[in-house]
Structure 1
C-alpha cells in the first residue's frame, strides 16, 4: 500500500495496481454452506459497478448518507468501498428515515421503507442471486448492478477530510478511517502483504469493520469473512484456518 493513500478507495486502487489476482475477500456462510472468493480485481469490478449505480442511477452526491442495513457479508464490503469511491457516507445500521438512500438485506426491508429516497434490496443469497419478486418499494441490486460500467470515475475528487463512515454512533473521515485501519493491523496480527485474517465479528462496530475489511485492505492482506461461524465445530474451524492459510483471527 502507498503512504499517500488517504481513502479506502485509494487503498483498493493501490491493491489493484500491485497484485490484482490475489485473494482479497473470501466469504463463508456456515448456515448455507456458501463459499465465495473474490480476487482484488473481481472485488474492484463489483465496487466500480456499484459506485456507478450510486452516482449515475441513484444520483447520489458527495456527502449524501446511505444507510446500510446489512450484515457482515462480501456484498456489504463492496458497498462500503463503493460509498468511499463516490464520496458518500456509509451509515452502517443507520436510521433509514435520516438517510438519503437505503440498502437493505433480509429482515430489514420493512425498516428501510422509512427512507424517502432510493431503496436497494440485496437477497444475500449464494452468488448474489436475484429475488423471485423484489420486496415492495425496492429495486433489486442483482438486477440493477450487472449493466453498470466496469470503470468508475467520480464527478469530483473525494475529499479525505470529509465524513465517510458512521458506525455505532461514531463518525470517521476517509483519512481517519485509513489511519485507524493501519494502526489496527498490527494489533490484529496483520504484519503486511500476504497476511490473512479470519473474522467472524459483525459489521456493526468499528472493530468488526476493521477486522473484517479495512485493516487487511490497508496492509496488503486479505480477509476470510465468516457468517454464522457458531454453527461450525472447533475441528472444522481448525481445518478452515489451515486450509485458508489464516495468520490471525478475530471472533
Structure 2
C-alpha cells in the first residue's frame, strides 16, 4: 500500500495495475452449489458498471446514502466498491426509509420499499441471473448493469475524509476503512500476494466486511467468500481449503 491509496477504490485501481488476471473474489453458496471466481479485471469491470449505474441512472453522488440490504455475496462486494468509487455512503443493512437509494436482495424487498428514492433489486441467482419477473417498483440489477459503461470516472473527486461506510451502527470515512483494513490484515494472516483467506463471516459487522473484502484488498491477497458454509460437511470443507489453496480462515 502506498500514500496515494486512501480509499477502497484506490486499492482496487492499484490491484488492477499490479496483476489484473489474478483471482480476487471466489464465491461459494453452499445452499445452491454455486461457485463464481472473479479476477481483479472482471471484478473491476463489474464495479465500473455498477458505479456508472449509481452515478448516472440513479443520480447518486457524494453525501448520498445507499442502503445495501444484501448478504455476504460477490455482488455485495461489487456494490461496496462501486459506492466507494462514486463517493456515496454504503449503509450496510441500513434503514431504507432514510436512504437515497436502496439495493435489495430477494428476501428484503418489502422492507426496501420504505425507500422513497431509487430502488434496485438483486436476484442473487447463479451467474448474476435476473428475476423471472422484475419486482414491482424496482429496477432489476441484472438487466440494468450490463448496458453500463466499462470505464468509470466520478463527476467529482472522492474525498477520503468524508463518510463512506456505515455498518453495525458505526460510521467510517474512506480513509478509515483503508487504515482499519490494513491493520486487520496481519491479524488475519494475510501476508501479501498469494495469501487466500476463506471467510464465512456475514457482512453485517466490520469484522465480516474486513475479512470478506477490505483486508484482502489492502494486502494484495484474495478472498474465498462462503455463504451457507454450515451446510457443508467438514471433510468437504477440508477439500475446499486444499483445492482453493486457502492460507487462512475467518469463521
Q: Name 2:62's counterpart in structure 1.
A: 62
Q: Name 1:33's counterpart in structure 2.
A: 33
Separation in structure 2 between the aligned mates of residue 4 and residue 187 of structure 1, nearest angstrom: 24
Q: TM-score, normalised by structure 1?
A: 0.99
Separation in structure 2 between the aligned mates of residue 248 and residue 52 of structure 1, nearest angstrom: 34
Q: Name 1:240's counterpart in structure 2.
A: 240
Separation in structure 2 between the aligned mates of residue 98 and residue 192 of structure 1, nearest angstrom: 39
**1:63 shift after superposition:** 0.8
**1:2 shift after superposition:** 2.8
Counterpart contact for 1:199–1:223, Cα < 8 Å: yes
1:190 correspondence with 2:190: yes
Query: Number of paired residues?
Result: 251
**1:3 shift after superposition:** 3.5
Matches within 5 A, 1:213-228: 213-228=213-228
- Larger CA deviation: 119-128 vs 1-10: 1-10
Separation in structure 2 between the aligned mates of residue 231 and residue 238 of structure 1, nearest angstrom: 14
Matches within 5 A, 1:193-204: 193-204=193-204
Q: TM-score, normalised by structure 2?
A: 0.99
* SS class of match (2:147): coil
Separation in structure 2 between the aligned mates of residue 225 and residue 9 of structure 1, nearest angstrom: 20
Q: Deviations 1:92-137 (Å, cap 9, x if unpaired)?
A: 0000000000000011000000000000000000011011111111
Counterpart contact for 1:22–1:39, Cα < 8 Å: yes
Separation in structure 1 between the aligned mates of residue 3 and residue 188 of structure 2, nearest angstrom: 20
The 1:193–1:87 alpha-carbon spacing in structure 2 relative to 1, beyond 3 Å, is same
Q: Which runs of no fewer than 5 residues in structure 1 stay unpaired? A: none
Q: Name 1:19's counterpart in structure 2.
A: 19
Q: Name 1:99's counterpart in structure 2.
A: 99
Counterpart contact for 1:54–1:86, Cα < 8 Å: yes
Q: Deviations 1:15-55 (Å, cap 9, x if unpaired)?
A: 00000000000000000000000000000000000000000
Separation in structure 2 between the aligned mates of residue 228 and residue 99 of structure 1, nearest angstrom: 28
- Larger CA deviation: 121-130 vs 2-11: 2-11
Separation in structure 1 between the aligned mates of residue 142 and residue 42 of structure 2, nearest angstrom: 16
Q: Please give the root-mean-square deviation of Cα atoms over the aligned residues, in Å.
A: 0.5
